[in-house]
Chain A
Amino acid sequence: MKFLSSIGSFASALFRRSRFEHDMDEELRAHLRDRARDLERSGLSRAEAERCARLDFGGYQKFKEECRESLGTHFVDTLVQDVRYALRTLRKSPGFTLVAVLTLALGIGANTAIFSLVDTALLHPLPFKNPSRLVMIGEGMPADGYPKIGISPEDFTVYEREQKSFESVGAFDDKYVGLSGGGQPERILAARVSASIFPMLGIQPLLGRTFTPQEDKLGKNVVILSYALWQRRYGASRRVIGKTVVLDRIPYTVIGVMPKRFQFPLRGPRTIVVSGNNEPANVWVPVAFTPEELQCNACYNSSALGRLNAGVTISQAQTEASLLARRIERQYPASVLQAFNNAQLYIWISPLDAEDVGSVRTMLLVLMAAVGMVLLIACSNVATLLLSRASARRREITIRSALGASPGRLARQVLTESIVLALGGGAIGILVARFGTAVLISLAPSNIPLPPDVPLGGSALLFAAAACCLTAIIFGIVPAIQSSAISPQFALQEGGRSGTPGRTRNRLQACFVVAEFALAFVLLIGAGLLLRSFFNRLMTNQGFRPDHVLTMEVPLPALAYPKATAIRGFYEQLAQRASNLPGVRSLGITTVLPLTNDNLTVMKVEGRPGYTPVIRDTWVLGNYFEAMGIPLLNGRYFTPQDRAGSQPVVVISEGTAKKYWPAGDAIGKRLYIYGTPDTATVVGIVGSVSGSQFVTATTPEVYVPYLQVPNVMLEDKRDASARSLALAVRTSTDPQAVALALVAQIHSLDSQLAVGKIRTMGQLVGSSVAGPRFNAFLFGLFACVALFLAALGIYGVLAYATVQRTHEIGIRMALGAQGTEVLRLVLGQGARLALFGLAIGLLIAVGLTRLMASLLFGVGSMDPLTFAVVAIVLVGIGMLACYIPARRATRVDPVSAMRCE
Chain B
Amino acid sequence: MPERAQILPGTLDLLILKAVSLGPLYGYGILLRIEQISRGALLIEQGALYPALFRLVRQGLLKAHWGTSENNRRTKFYELTSAGRKRLRQEEEGWNRLVAAIASALKAQPEQT
For the complex of A and B, 3 pairs with smallest distance between CB atoms: A66-B51, A63-B47, A58-B47
B28 touches A34 (CB 8 A): yes
Give the CA-CA distance A70 to B16 in the complex, in Å: 16
Question: Most chain-B Cβ atoms within 10 A of its Cβ — which of A31, A57, A60?
Answer: A31
Asked if B89 CB lies within 8 Å of chain A CBs, one says: no
| A70 in contact with B58 given A60-B47, A63-B51 (CB within 8 Å) | yes
- Chain A 590-609 residues near chain B, CB threshold 8 A: none
Asked if A30 CB lies within 8 Å of chain B CBs, one says: yes
Which range contains the number of A residues in contact with the other chain? 20 to 34
Asked if B39 CB lies within 8 Å of chain A CBs, one says: no
| A30 in contact with B26 given A58-B45, A58-B47 (CB within 8 Å) | yes
**Of the candidates A34, A58, A72, which one forms a contact with B48 in the assembled complex, judged by CB atoms under 8 Å apart?**
A58
Give the CA-CA distance A70 to B12 in the complex, in Å: 14
| Interchain Cβ contacts under 8 Å between A and B, 8 examples | A26-B76, A27-B27, A30-B26, A56-B46, A63-B48, A69-B51, A71-B54, A71-B58
What are the residues of chain B within 8 A of A31 when measuring CB–CB?
27-28, 31, 46, 49-50
What are the residues of chain B within 8 A of A409 when measuring CB–CB?
none
Question: 1/0 contact trace for A59-76 toward B, CB 8 Å?
Answer: 110110011011110000
What are the residues of chain A within 8 A of B74 when measuring CB–CB?
26
What are the residues of chain A within 8 A of B46 when measuring CB–CB?
31, 35, 56-58
What are the residues of chain B within 8 A of A30 when measuring CB–CB?
26-28, 73, 75
Give the CA-CA distance A63 to B48 in the complex, in Å: 6
Asked if A23 CB lies within 8 Å of chain B CBs, one says: yes
What are the residues of chain B within 8 A of A35 when measuring CB–CB?
28, 46
Asked if B55 CB lies within 8 Å of chain A CBs, one says: yes
**Of the candidates A23, A56, A67, which one forms a contact with B51 in the assembled complex, judged by CB atoms under 8 Å apart?**
A67
What are the residues of chain A within 8 A of B49 when measuring CB–CB?
31
Shortest Cβ distance from B100 into chain A, in angstroms? 31
A23 touches B76 (CB 8 A): yes
Per the CB 8 Å criterion, the residue count for chain B at the interface is 20
Asked if A236 CB lies within 8 Å of chain B CBs, one says: no
Shortest Cβ distance from A872 into chain B, in angstroms? 66
- Chain B 21-67 residues near chain A, CB threshold 8 A: 26-28, 31, 45-52, 54-55, 58, 66
Asked if A28 CB lies within 8 Å of chain B CBs, one says: yes
Interface of A with B (CB < 8 Å)? 23-24, 26-28, 30-31, 34-35, 56-60, 62-63, 66-67, 69-72
Question: Most chain-A Cβ atoms within 10 A of its Cβ — which of B46, B55, B76?
Answer: B46
Give the CA-CA distance A389 to B30 in the complex, in Å: 48
A70 touches B47 (CB 8 A): no
**Of the candidates B45, B51, B76, which one forms a contact with A70 in the assembled complex, judged by CB atoms under 8 Å apart?**
B51
Question: Most chain-A Cβ atoms within 10 A of its Cβ — which of B27, B51, B58?
Answer: B51
Give the CA-CA distance A614 to B54 in the complex, in Å: 92
Give the CA-CA distance A23 to B27 in the complex, in Å: 13
Told that A58-B47, A69-B51, A71-B58 touch, could you supply 5 new A-B pairs with CB distance under 8 A?
A27-B27, A28-B50, A30-B73, A31-B31, A66-B50
What are the residues of chain B within 8 A of A34 when measuring CB–CB?
28
Give the CA-CA distance A66 to B55 in the complex, in Å: 10
Shortest Cβ distance from A54 into chain B, in angstroms? 10
Shortest Cβ distance from A875 into chain B, in angstroms? 60
Is chain A's binding surface mostly helix, strand, loop or mixed?
helix
Give the CA-CA distance A71 to B27 in the complex, in Å: 16
Shortest Cβ distance from A732 into chain B, in angstroms? 95
Shortest Cβ distance from B95 into chain A, in angstroms? 22
What are the residues of chain B within 8 A of A57 when measuring CB–CB?
46-47
What are the residues of chain A within 8 A of B76 when measuring CB–CB?
23, 26-27
Give the CA-CA distance A31 to B54 in the complex, in Å: 15
What are the residues of chain A within 8 A of B73 when measuring CB–CB?
30
Give the CA-CA distance A72 to B28 in the complex, in Å: 23
Nearest B residue to A26 via CB reads: B74
Nearest A residue to B52 via CB reads: A70
Shortest Cβ distance from A757 into chain B, in angstroms? 80
B54 touches A70 (CB 8 A): yes
A59 touches B27 (CB 8 A): no
Give the CA-CA distance A71 to B50 in the complex, in Å: 11
Shortest Cβ distance from B78 into chain A, in angstroms? 10
Give the CA-CA distance A31 to B76 in the complex, in Å: 11
What are the residues of chain B within 8 A of A26 when measuring CB–CB?
74, 76
Shortest Cβ distance from B8 into chain A, in angstroms? 18
Shortest Cβ distance from B91 into chain A, in angstroms? 18
Shortest Cβ distance from A32 into chain B, in angstroms? 9
Shortest Cβ distance from A672 into chain B, in angstroms? 102
Give the CA-CA distance A28 to B75 in the complex, in Å: 10
What are the residues of chain B within 8 A of A69 when measuring CB–CB?
51
Nearest A residue to B56 via CB reads: A70
Shortest Cβ distance from B20 into chain A, in angstroms? 15
Give the CA-CA distance A66 to B47 in the complex, in Å: 10
B28 touches A63 (CB 8 A): no
A72 touches B58 (CB 8 A): yes
| A67 in contact with B54 given A26-B74, A56-B46, A62-B47 (CB within 8 Å) | yes
Nearest A residue to B45 via CB reads: A58
Give the CA-CA distance A6 to B66 in the complex, in Å: 30
Give the CA-CA distance A192 to B95 in the complex, in Å: 99
Shortest Cβ distance from B16 into chain A, in angstroms? 13
What are the residues of chain A within 8 A of B55 when measuring CB–CB?
70
Nearest A residue to B66 via CB reads: A23
| A63 in contact with B50 given A70-B58, A72-B58 (CB within 8 Å) | yes
Shortest Cβ distance from B25 into chain A, in angstroms? 12
Give the CA-CA distance A27 to B50 in the complex, in Å: 9
Shortest Cβ distance from B39 into chain A, in angstroms? 17
Nearest B residue to A53 via CB reads: B46
Shortest Cβ distance from A457 into chain B, in angstroms? 48
Give the CA-CA distance A458 to B73 in the complex, in Å: 55
Shortest Cβ distance from A185 into chain B, in angstroms? 86
Give the CA-CA distance A35 to B76 in the complex, in Å: 16
What are the residues of chain A within 8 A of B48 when measuring CB–CB?
58, 63, 66
Nearest B residue to A58 via CB reads: B47
What are the residues of chain A within 8 A of B31 when measuring CB–CB?
31
Give the CA-CA distance A774 to B75 in the complex, in Å: 74
What are the residues of chain B within 8 A of A72 when measuring CB–CB?
58
What are the residues of chain A within 8 A of B54 when measuring CB–CB?
67, 70-71
Nearest B residue to A55 via CB reads: B46
Give the CA-CA distance A72 to B51 in the complex, in Å: 11
Give the CA-CA distance A838 to B98 in the complex, in Å: 71
Nearest B residue to A61 via CB reads: B47
Shortest Cβ distance from B45 into chain A, in angstroms? 5
Question: Most chain-B Cβ atoms within 10 A of its Cβ — which of A34, A35, A57, A62?
Answer: A34
What are the residues of chain B within 8 A of A67 when measuring CB–CB?
50-51, 54
What are the residues of chain A within 8 A of B26 when measuring CB–CB?
30
Give the CA-CA distance A63 to B45 in the complex, in Å: 10
What are the residues of chain B within 8 A of A63 when measuring CB–CB?
47-48, 50-51
What are the residues of chain B within 8 A of A62 when measuring CB–CB?
47
What are the residues of chain A within 8 A of B58 when measuring CB–CB?
70-72
Shortest Cβ distance from B105 into chain A, in angstroms? 32
Nearest B residue to A60 via CB reads: B47
A59 touches B47 (CB 8 A): yes
Give the CA-CA distance A777 to B23 in the complex, in Å: 82
Question: Most chain-A Cβ atoms within 10 A of its Cβ — which of B28, B48, B74, B75?
Answer: B28
